[in-house]
Structure 1
């Protein structure tokens, strides 16, 4: 099948996008909320940047998410880097599925994220937080990501799922390859194979020796006898492991960077810790941990704003752009911990709203409360620090964050 003739011109995106995507969004916003773009070495796709349009798209059943249809489109468009069968299998989880499959998969996993179960994790999260901050005490300089923002959510998700913490270096290295933009095809295939093999062995261990963890629960049939097959278990484990730690790592690091960059707000929050829950919502809005939503595609023409996207097109929602839409927020480009950040789309919207959002919020509230209390003089290790952002459109996160604890 040949490519469809589309009138909308393609906007080319350079590698400088990752350092400051908001420069692109501001430029695009002058021309409307929907754009056809193409990254270096990528294929044309559509991206929605307006808040109203983004919220509508995230809940629109005409924008499909089933992985088989998505990869068929990739193959048709010759996107070799994303069309290998191993990657398709690993990504066949509930975030890349439509009803009724999505309904069935989400029902099986939400039993591990009920409000009661999430609340029961609080004492352990507080304990892990205190231990990590103890490790920072007395040090002249640390990388806050390696010392705190990374090990906190990784420890929590490992304990919740029943994944050995000592395996973290392996699965995080594979994750960086799989969620990064570009990269050599052979590296992506190798990371896919390594992650899949690791998860298959882990699931087999849970089946033979179940424990009191979420993965052990997932290998068992549900109350109605419904159960995941082996490939579904691998894909679900991949989603929970990656999304369960990577997003919170970025939330903690991005939020801390934003506060240290605006010292007055750090001091204000330290003086009134009751504002931390609202501040976390502002961190999520201002520089959330997820830049773009996972992929959707059209199977029929879909009108979004003033643009009609033809059938057979790939569509993303730029969550970070929607969360800075001046039509929705009064001062979108400024951090304001006292502002009402309600309604932000950092966790998505609709049936694919992040199942782990309550856990991420609780981890962040505990982490920021303890960090502000324990290290009130925390500051950049170098006043000239320039952030290096991950080369990923999916995740929005820093490479490092050198700080002086100051206590």
Structure 2
């Protein structure tokens, strides 16, 4: 498909079943492709490393939906009550809100949660006794939910299955965005209740701190408070689920690397960094909108045009030696967590959770192996994220 071809959608079953193969062909053909989303809205997809990295910091590309000139159901899936968060903002509002919550996600503050994350991991692994076991359901799904809910201060008895809402919101079908509205409004109602309860009885957690920033310092609006709570739950949960799953699969597919990790020759952190390059949990960065007519990779993008940057494509570009090989010894230079001012706020927490999960898993089950052929594994039907539906294992 050439950049001058009539827009046709590339967001189909081929992309979801083989994103690496599809994006490899796209990279070879052109750095930017005009296509359409499932609901027919035009979008420009950037595929090569240098162009993607530059786009992630380009001030001519805005996250604010007010700058969009095209409209589609997919684009406007989020109820307006949950819109006022970091992924829809440019500076200075983005800077103000990020500063309010950044302290909770610094490496030092995250490290203070190590013992609690370890305890939760051990509890989940202790309950994993039957073979074969699905590691997504046994560990990768529940651990991030426990961690992010504890960070925000959501009581254990009130924790919901956010995975259902996540799947709906990120689903590829044209009607998925419409269906997700009901779930998002239910979540909005739930968050309003939690915020009211914490106003009445403050506790030592991030959500209470955000409430105080609103009530006492007037640092964020009520809508920003609710939307930020949603974003932290949503983003803090889903990406970590798939990082744990994808990293575990990478080890299962590369037994020599797994052996090196067990022997202490390869750090678990190196495995995670290479997973973020080789098979990242987020395939696309947050959509952006051109503030003016611009040209990227020789392709013209009109003002108001919607732009998507392909992280999964950039990370397999010729920028890297043997890009299709899983090599944890390489120096990390991936875009798995983004780049620039919108670099993933929760990256330190995701790394710590995943490190503890993988380390504990290999220690508990030293003979871990896939229970099915790799070709039988099913991936979530989404072109926004790369995550396994199930990861059956034996030991």
Task: Determine if contact 1:203/1:215 at 8 Å carries over to the other structure.
Answer: yes
Matches within 5 A, 1:7-406: 7=4, 9-13=6-10, 14-70=12-68, 73-75=69-71, 79-83=72-76, 87-136=79-128, 138-182=129-173, 183-184=175-176, 186-221=178-213, 225-272=217-264, 274-326=266-318, 328-340=319-331, 342-383=332-373, 386-404=376-394, 406=395
In 1, the alpha carbon distance for the partners of 2:8 and 2:169 equals: 25
- The 3 A distance-change label for structure 1 pair 318 and 375 is same
Deviation of residue 169 (structure 1)? 4.0
Partner of 1:3: none
Distance 1:224 1:278 in 2: 43
CA distance in 2, matches of 1:11, 1:163: 44
- C-alpha distance in structure 2 between counterparts of 1:353 and 1:121, whole Å: 21
Question: CA 1:300–1:277 in structure 2 vs 1: closer, same or farther (change >3 Å)?
Answer: same
Aligned partners of 2:301 and 2:374: how far apart in 1? 44
Report if aligned partners of 2:317, 2:323 keep a CA contact under 8 Å in 1: yes
Q: Which moved more, 1:357-366 or 1:53-62?
A: 357-366
Structure 1 distance, partners of 2:139, 2:5, is 45
For 2:58 and 2:385, locate their aligned partners in 1 and report how far apart those are by CA, in whole Å: 23
**Are residues 177 and 22 of structure 1, via their aligned partners in 2, closer, same or farther at CA, if it must alter by over 3 Å?**
same
What is the TM-score with the length of structure 2 in the denominator?
A: 0.93
For each residue in 1:312-345, what CA deviation from the matched residue of structure 2 results, as whole angstroms up to 9, or x when unmatched?
200011101111111x1011111112222x1211
State the alpha-carbon separation in 1 of the partners of residues 130 and 113 from structure 2.
Answer: 29
For the structure 1 residues 338 and 184, does the alpha-carbon distance in structure 2 shift closer, same or farther, using more than 3 Å as the test? closer
Q: CA offsets per residue over residues 125-162 of structure 1, 9 Å max, x none? A: 111111111111x4221110110111111111110011
Gapped runs of 5+ residues in structure 2?
none
How far apart are 1:81 and its partner, in Å? 4.4
Tell me the alpha carbon deviations over residues 337-386 of structure 1, each in whole angstroms, 9 at most, x when there is no partner. 2222x121111111111111111111111111111111111111223652
Kindly tell me the number of residue pairs found equivalent between the two proteins.
Answer: 391
Q: Deviations over 1:1-35 (max 9, x none)?
A: xxxxx945424322221111111111111122111
Specify every segment of 5 or more residues in structure 1 that has no aligned partner in the other structure, as ranges. Answer: 1-5
Structure 1 pair 370–300 and aligned structure 2 pair: CA distance change class (3 A): same
- Residues 278-326 of structure 1: CA deviation (Å, up to 9, x unaligned): 1110011111111101110112012212222111200011101111111
Aligned-partner SS, 1:36: strand
| Distance in 1 (alpha carbons) for counterparts of 2:320 and 2:188 | 42
* Cα distance in structure 1, aligned partners of 2:225 and 2:385: 23
Distance 2:165 2:327 in 1: 36
Secondary structure of the 1:10 match is: coil
Quote the RMSD (CA, aligned, Å). Answer: 2.0
Contact 1:68 1:88 in 2 (8 A): no
Q: Distance in 2 between matches of 1:161 and 1:216?
A: 8
